[in-house]
Amino acid sequence: MYIDVHVHPVPEEIVKEFPRGLFEEYVDMFGVDMYEAVAVEQMVEEFEAANISKAVLLPVAPCTVNPAVSYSHVTANQVVADIVKQYPDRFIGFASVNPHQGQTAVDELERCVRELNLKGLKLLYGKPSRPADENKALPPPAGG
């Protein structure tokens, strides 16, 4: 069994929110056009052709690097959950939050676990102007 542990779904609604210039280094590095939407069905076909049994879906939230973008972590997490519901045997969904959002991030993570049944977490800082361990990041979990 092969599992791809780092897959970003790139639906049409997120592509239009990508700030231009954000992904040029990845385009050059991987030869992938990050500004082109990829249908879930196409992803599944490509995984089948490559003999990949499962994939871990990680949300993409351009709001992390550009706060003016309306496509939020909440929306990105919901997109992942919807894909996992559609293909539960193919995908494992992870949530994403920006820990610099403090309690808002904690609340979103709790929603992702309790309501969306997502199985893991990707902390997405974007381009932080402060270190991840600064005290304004996520508070410690309750009871731990």
CATH number of residue 7's parent domain: 3.20.20.140
Domain that holds residue 111: 3-123
Task: Quick: pLDDT tens for 84-120.
Answer: 999 999 999 999 887 777 888 888 899 999 999 999 9
Q: Domain total for the chain?
A: 1
Tell me, yes or no, whether 128 lies in a domain.
Answer: no
Contacts of 57 (CB under 8 A, 6+ apart): 7, 8, 9, 80, 83, 84, 91, 92, 93, 94
- Reading the block at residue 66, the tokens are 């550009």
Tell me, yes or no, whether 83 lies in a domain.
Answer: yes
Tell me, yes or no, whether 45 lies in a domain.
Answer: yes
Q: What is the average per-residue pLDDT within 41-69?
A: 81
Tell me, yes or no, whether 142 lies in a domain.
Answer: no
Task: Quick: pLDDT tens for 64-80.
Answer: 544 554 456 778 899 99
Band of residue 128 on the pLDDT scale cut at 50, 70, 90: very low
Give the predicted TM-score (pTM) of the model.
0.78
Band of residue 28 on the pLDDT scale cut at 50, 70, 90: confident
In terms of average pLDDT, the best of 17-26, 92-101, 121-130 is 92-101
Tell me, yes or no, whether 135 lies in a domain.
Answer: no
Tell me, yes or no, whether 137 lies in a domain.
Answer: no
Tell me, yes or no, whether 58 lies in a domain.
Answer: yes
